[in-house]
Structure 1
Amino acid sequence: MNRFSDYCEIIDSEGRGLAVQEHPLKIAQKLLKNGWGLLLGKPEQQQAELQGQLKLEKVKVRFFEKVVGFILEGDRRHPRQKIKEGPRDSFGKVVYVDYQIDLPDRSLNEFSLWVNRYMDSVQVLSPPSLVEKHRQAGRDLIDRYSL
């Protein structure tokens, strides 16, 4: 900074103290707690969400076979997640796990990235827009390997 001191000008030395920075930090933490990932959305969406006026999407995903154990281990992946075991097979193993969470629309793309890691062991059940997005990703994958 010293070599740029001739070019730098302090606009408001009091304006960025800890007290001033704490308020936006609390807002960001609340948005991060509601969402999935780091995308906080547009200011209008943020205001509606913070005021409790933004409708959250009910997201439901079913995980199968290879990843059931991993999903069951992640009981703290998100503060509002719900994990429900499906039926057990004849060996006592859980056949599938339903993962449910309410998310703001801004988080659906990042959630999809997480779900797509388990492409062959997951089925998106809701919302319809996410179901179609996952279905299309599967079709695109088939097309890529069919060339």
Structure 2
Amino acid sequence: MTLNEALRTYRIPLLLIVPFLVALYYTIVPDMVLQWYRDDNYSHGFIVPLISGWFLYTRREAVMKALVSPWWPGLLVILAGLIQLTIGWLGTEYFTMRSSLVVLLAGMTLYFFGREIFRAVLLPLGYLLLMVPIPYIIYDAAAFPLK
């Protein structure tokens, strides 16, 4: 199955997932964007999704040629992302909650489109992790010796 055929086949489930993701992350993502705006150390977060999109654009031919073969173990990655989100929410640990979005996107890519598509979009997905502000305890431990 090609990517276009898969998108037609999974159109309804994918459209149903969007409101679900918005509901899950409706407070998390705006808080992250606000941190990008307020803290100069993380202002690069605004451009990271654009660069990730550019990486995806440069790989568009590989993505379009890749064979779509849904991979059921992708559900385990989705479950791991949801568990990560829950643990982060219970512990009020923002890095864990925010990075769970990338894990969920990776899991959905694996589940709906398969490993070949996942390999083609691995760099853009992985690059999205750079938009997530790291905890200050780690930031200070790395930055303080450099001052």
Whether TM exceeds 0.5 here: the answer is no
TM-score, normalised to structure 1's length?
A: 0.28
Higher strand share: 1
Structure with the bigger RCO (C-alpha within 8 Å, sep 6+) is: 2
